[in-house]
Structure 1
Amino acid sequence: MPTVSPVNLTAPLLLLLLWATHPAMATNWLS
């Protein structure tokens, strides 16, 4: 298995940040 790279850790955090800052867009995309 490959080692955990910083990108693998920051990508989910960026997605969470986008969801937190754009809740309406996120819920619209998820639904």
Structure 2
Amino acid sequence: MAQRRKETLETMKALNQASLIISEVRETQLW
């Protein structure tokens, strides 16, 4: 159970990083 929770946390962390990168790319493309 703890292992699955850890994997979920890592997945959410990766998703957050991906969305941050995507938003940064969008901002740079606007200019």
TM-score normalized by structure 2? 0.51
Where does structure 1 lack aligned partners over 5 or more consecutive residues?
25-31
TM-score normalized by structure 1? 0.51
| Matched residue, 1:3 | 8
| Larger Rg over CA atoms | 2
CA distance in 2, matches of 1:3, 1:14: 20
Where does structure 2 lack aligned partners over 5 or more consecutive residues?
none
The Cα RMSD (Å) is: 2.3
Higher relative contact order (CA 8 A, sep 6+): 1
How many residues are treated as equivalent by the alignment?
24
- After TM superposition, the runs of 4+ consecutive aligned structure 1 residues lying more than 2 A away are none
Identity over aligned pairs, percent? 17
